[in-house]
Structure 1
Amino acid sequence: MSDQEWIQQLMNADNEDINLSDKQRKILEAAIDTFSEKGYAASSTSEIAKKAGVAEGTIFRHYKTKKELLLSIVTPTMGKFVAPFFIKSFAKEVFDNEYEHYEDFLRTVAKNRLEFVKKNFPVLKIFIQEIAFHDELREPYQKLVIEHIYPKFKKVIEHFQEKGEITNLSPSAIMRMTASSIMSYILPRVILFPSHDWDDEKEIDQIVQFVMYGLSGNQK
């Protein structure tokens, strides 16, 4: 997905009318490209302006600081883009289904999140790079997970614990193990070695086997 397509999708994410001028769109496209490539700290507004084909002063007429420009990209993404797609699509495609086994659930989660990251990589890369340094980025994400993802995930885990499929660790611990195992593949796959000849089906299957081995509670 190109930056222009991504921004268009972002602006239409919740059917609200958001009017951006052509210059604002060009600034956002250039900022996404620059922040994604170089990181926030190493990027300059003059570089963004040059890439957008506008005067640097034009940026500061729309965004008072470079941080405001960053937040104008990522914060709406959390509220308008990630929230609808992370929650609605995630809930509909993952949590609203019934699974015979926990490993079936794991496989669905892994495939769903891999496709999500691949599709929305430019802005998610910025988010990953900057979340540790800006409370304004971290707090909406924490709220999103706590309110909408945690209860659904917990319910799935408790269901398979009651069936005796997975060990009786706390649901929070199982979530962390599950999520970290999946992300340990997705991040190298998309960020570190994107040109590598990955076999996603095989890799996801190995992740599922690894997690299930750890959660089965049958090791001697």
Structure 2
Amino acid sequence: MSSNNILDRILASAKLSKKETAKQQRILRSAVDLFAEKGYANTSTSEIAKRSEVAEGTIFRHYGTKENLLLAVIVPFLKESLPAMAQEVFEEVNPAKQAGFGHFLRAMFLNRLRFFRENKEIFRVVVKEFVYRDELRNELMAHINRDIVVYMFKAMDHFKARGDLPDLPNERLLKLIFPYVFSQFVIRFALASEEPPVSDEEEADAIVGFVLRGIEGYR
């Protein structure tokens, strides 16, 4: 299994935007190095400037904020790497190896819970910008629909064929599942000051139970 840490993966793959100047490449590389070493919240723009051997004002001129600098690193990586990352997840949580749709959903939730916990600082920034930036949201949603939704639809078709899901359009089933499940990650890692005092498994059972009861109402 590949590393869950996005910054580690970026460092390993060196997937930085090729549209940047040599100076900007130096800034982005230094930012990734420091974010990985110290954490996003604990890294200052002055430290990034020092390591990349530029004036701090150069960073602000090119990127404006530390959030924009992070996005300049993360977004190109996600656009290029999302297909492979999605395939990895669905190989780890193989629908054909799950006893039922509830087991699949539970395994998927626990898998992504570990991922978002590992990348919670980045997740907070991306969620905030996702809400307020139409261009970023549209860009990322295009990749999500192409690279992730297709796997979910295949999984749903598999469980519908087994009689484990009602024969509803996949789009409708996804709307019953995704907003609620994703909102739990947002609450836990972007809004709450601390994680809930329950085990991951207990939380997974509660969330999956809620989703399955909602789906059962459509049978």
Same fold (TM over 0.5): yes
Does the C-alpha gap of structure 1 residues 206 and 101 become closer, same or farther in structure 2, counting only changes over 3 Å? same
Contact residue 160 and residue 166 of structure 1 kept, 8 A: yes
Give 1:22-33 correspondences, 5 Å limit.
24-28=28-32
Per the normalisation by structure 1, the TM-score is 0.72
Q: Which residue of 1 aligns with 2:123?
A: 124
Gaps of 5+ in 2: none
Contact residue 79 and residue 143 of structure 2 kept, 8 A: no
Letter in 2 for 1:108: A
Classify the secondary structure of the residue corresponding to 1:131: helix
Q: Which residue of 1 aligns with 2:90?
A: 91
Does the C-alpha gap of structure 1 residues 143 and 116 become closer, same or farther in structure 2, counting only changes over 3 Å? same
Q: Percent identity?
A: 22
Q: Which residue of 2 aligns with 1:106?
A: 105
Letter in 1 for 2:57: G
Q: Which residue of 2 aligns with 1:182?
A: 181
Does the C-alpha gap of structure 1 residues 77 and 171 become closer, same or farther in structure 2, counting only changes over 3 Å? same
Contact residue 82 and residue 147 of structure 2 kept, 8 A: no
Does the C-alpha gap of structure 1 residues 95 and 201 become closer, same or farther in structure 2, counting only changes over 3 Å? same
Letter in 2 for 1:11: L
- Deviations along 1:69-104, one digit per CA (max 9) or x if unpaired, are 35412312422455543x132222124643331111
Classify the secondary structure of the residue corresponding to 2:102: helix
Letter in 1 for 2:64: K
Structure 2 Cα separation of the partners of residues 6 and 152 of structure 1: 21
Contact residue 181 and residue 207 of structure 2 kept, 8 A: yes
Classify the secondary structure of the residue corresponding to 2:165: coil
Q: Which residue of 1 aligns with 2:9?
A: 9
Does the C-alpha gap of structure 1 residues 112 and 163 become closer, same or farther in structure 2, counting only changes over 3 Å? same
Give 1:42-57 correspondences, 5 Å limit.
48-52=44-48, 54=50, 55-57=55-57
Structure 2 Cα separation of the partners of residues 129 and 115 of structure 1: 20
Structure 1 ranges of 4+ moved more than 6 A = 29-33
Classify the secondary structure of the residue corresponding to 1:182: helix
Letter in 2 for 1:144: H
Structure 2 Cα separation of the partners of residues 71 and 188 of structure 1: 21
Q: Which residue of 2 aligns with 1:197?
A: 197
Does the C-alpha gap of structure 1 residues 32 and 138 become closer, same or farther in structure 2, counting only changes over 3 Å? farther
Letter in 1 for 2:12: N
Q: Which residue of 2 aligns with 1:157?
A: 156
Alignment match of 2:62 (pick from 57, 61, 64)? 64
Letter in 1 for 2:137: R
Structure 2 Cα separation of the partners of residues 218 and 72 of structure 1: 43
Gaps of 5+ in 1: 38-46
Classify the secondary structure of the residue corresponding to 1:166: coil
Structure 2 Cα separation of the partners of residues 95 and 150 of structure 1: 15
- Deviations along 1:141-164, one digit per CA (max 9) or x if unpaired, are 222222222222112223323333
